[in-house]
Amino acid sequence: MHTHQWLALETSTDTLSLAVARGTQTWTHTSAGGALTSTHMIPQTLALLQEAGLALTDLQAVVFGRGPGAFTGLRTACSVAQGLAFGASLPVLPIDTLLAVAEEARAANAVAGAVPVTRVLAVMDARMAQVYVAAYEYTPNAVEATTASAGETGPMQGTWRCVQAPELHSPESLYWPADWAQDSFIAAGNAWPVYVSRWPTALTASQATALPTAAALLRLAPAAWAAGAAVPPEEALPLYIRDKVAQTTDERMQIKAQQAAA
């Protein structure tokens, strides 16, 4: 089997993102998710595998974004990954969605030819007037640093380190590593326009829009695999960092009143 043959599933947001890697080639699919995910996901996945000329049994593992994210989306990605992996006798490879946000922001920045991103504060809308937050630091290897200085871009070759584990916060209580200067990191995610007037005044770092994508999961997969993160399908679980997934009517009314007064 060729190395790096993966299927990646990412449905933690309202976007359905799929990707298949065969060696150095990648095939991707992006479409509206949400309520459409359950009906479109498997047919689109099989179509993408066919386009790549791969059967499920050719894969090294099924990769999925484990969370944090939308409750239903995480359950869908996990259950589909488990079902496909069971049928093909494959392991599954769970990867944090906030790390995928950081990787997507790093890659987009590299393509744009901007100053390389090495620190990312990933911030995603968690709804219920809250956000998911984590901080990651990226160290390029020598080859990547050389090609970046020459204006070239390629697949991820460095390593990510989690500096601040995923947490749930209100926008106002958002924080980042104490030793990170504002000009040393970017804040990436999808929450900026949602809570535009509620961010800490101390947060002056550049804000970038980024979503977790299946392509980002593929770039992260080799390192996760090498770190021993693959598990049997029955051991795969979504990452929930919120115990409460629904609000009472009174809580919804209070939040609406707070937003109206802001």
* Measured distance CA(32)–CA(18) in Å, rounded: 12
The domain of 148 spans 98-209
Say if CB 88 and CB 94 are below 8 A apart. no
Asked if residue 137 and residue 170 are part of one domain, the reply reads yes
Flag whether 260 is in a domain.
no
| pLDDT above 50: residue 245 | no
* Three-state secondary structure of the chain: CCCCEEEEEECCCCEEEEEEEECCEEEEEEEECHHHHHHHHHHHHHHHHHHHCCCHHHCCEEEEEEECCCHHHHHHHHHHHHHHHHHHCCCEEEEEHHHHHHHHHHHHHHHHCCCCCCEEEEEEEEECCEEEEEEEEEECCHHHHHHHHCCCCCCCCCEEEEEEEEEEECHHHCCCCCCCCHHHCEEEECCCCCCCCCCCCCCCCEEEECCCCHHHHHHHHHHHHHCCCCECHHHCCCCCCCCCCCCCHHHHHHHHHHHHHC
What's residue 257's pLDDT?
58
Look over the chain and give the mean of its residue pLDDT values, rounded to a whole number. 87
Highest mean pLDDT among 7-11, 38-42, 254-258: 7-11
* Measured distance CA(103)–CA(5) in Å, rounded: 19
pLDDT-derived band at 149 (thresholds 50, 70, 90) equals very low
25-44 pLDDT, tens per residue? 999 999 987 766 777 899 99
174-223 pLDDT, tens per residue? 999 999 999 999 999 999 999 999 999 999 999 999 999 999 999 999 99
Flag whether 84 is in a domain.
yes
85-142 pLDDT, tens per residue? 999 999 999 999 999 999 999 999 888 777 789 999 999 999 999 999 999 999 987 6
Asked if residue 41 and residue 16 are part of one domain, the reply reads yes
| Chain center to CA of 131 | 14
Asked if residue 83 and residue 12 are part of one domain, the reply reads yes
| pLDDT above 70: residue 67 | yes
What's residue 242's pLDDT?
77
Flag whether 112 is in a domain.
yes
pLDDT-derived band at 228 (thresholds 50, 70, 90) equals very high
Give how many domains the chain has, as a whole number.
2
Asked if residue 49 and residue 173 are part of one domain, the reply reads no
| pLDDT above 80: residue 251 | no
What's residue 143's pLDDT?
56
Asked if residue 90 and residue 50 are part of one domain, the reply reads yes
Asked if residue 123 and residue 82 are part of one domain, the reply reads no
Asked if residue 216 and residue 204 are part of one domain, the reply reads no
Q: Which residues pair with 37 in a beta bridge?
A: none
Asked if residue 79 and residue 36 are part of one domain, the reply reads yes
Asked if residue 119 and residue 43 are part of one domain, the reply reads no
Q: What is the CATH number of the domain that holds 27?
A: 3.30.420.40
What's residue 111's pLDDT?
82
Asked if residue 64 and residue 13 are part of one domain, the reply reads yes
Q: Can you tell me the mean pLDDT for 68-83?
A: 93
Flag whether 204 is in a domain.
yes
Asked if residue 180 and residue 52 are part of one domain, the reply reads no
Higher pLDDT: 182 or 145? It is 182
| pLDDT above 60: residue 252 | no
| pLDDT above 70: residue 258 | no
pLDDT-derived band at 62 (thresholds 50, 70, 90) equals very high
Asked if residue 196 and residue 168 are part of one domain, the reply reads yes
Least confident span in 71-75, 76-80, 152-156, 229-233: 152-156
Per-residue tokens: 255 = 């939040």
